[in-house]
Structure 1
Amino acid sequence: MALLLASWGAQSQPVFNDHSPTWYAQGAVGASDAYAASVGVTLPWKQWTYGLGSGQVTGHWDLFASHWSSHTLRDERQRSYVIGVIPTLRWRGDQGLSPWFAQAGTGLAWSSAYYQSHDKLFSTRYNFATHLAVGTNFGARREHEVMLRLEHFSNAGIKRPNPGENFLQLRYAHRF
Structure 2
Amino acid sequence: MKRRNELLRCVCLAAVVTGGLASPARAQGWQPSSFFVQGGVGEDRVQAAAVGVQWPWAWRANALGGELSVQTELFVALWRARAAAGGRENFQQLGLVPVLRYRFGDGRSPWFLEGGIGVSVTNKRFDTRDKTFSTNWNFSDNLAFGRSFGEQARHEVSLRLQHTSNGGLKKPNPGLNLVMLRYAAAF
Given candidates 94, 99, 105, the residue that maps to 1:88 is 99
1:135 paired to 2:146: yes
Aligned to 2:123: 112
- The 5 A counterparts of 1:19-168 are 21-46=33-58, 48-168=59-179
Name which one, 1 or 2, has greater alpha-carbon Rg.
1
Given the two structures, how large is their TM-score scaled by the length of structure 1? Answer: 0.86
Q: How far did 1:20 drift? A: 7.4
Same amino acid, percent of matched pairs: 39
Q: Which amino acid aligns with 2:149?
A: F
Displacement, 1:69? 0.8
How many pairs align?
A: 157
Distance (Å, rounded) in 2 between the aligned partners of 1:115 and 1:154: 10
**Cα RMSD over matched residues?**
1.3
Deviating 4+ runs (over 4 angstroms)? none
State the 1:76 CA deviation.
2.5
Gaps of 5+ in 1: 1-18
TM-score using structure 2 length: 0.81
Tell me if the contact between 1:34 and 1:117 (Cα under 8 Å) persists in the aligned partners. Answer: no
- C-alpha deviation, 1:73, in angstroms: 2.8
| Residue pair 2:32, 2:53 contacting (<8 A) in 1 also | no
Structure 2 unaligned residues grouped into runs of 5+:
1-30
C-alpha distance in 2, partners of 1:96/1:121? 42
- The answer to whether the 8 Å contact 1:28/1:36 transfers is yes
Higher helix share: 2
Distance across 2 between alignment mates of 1:119 and 1:68: 14
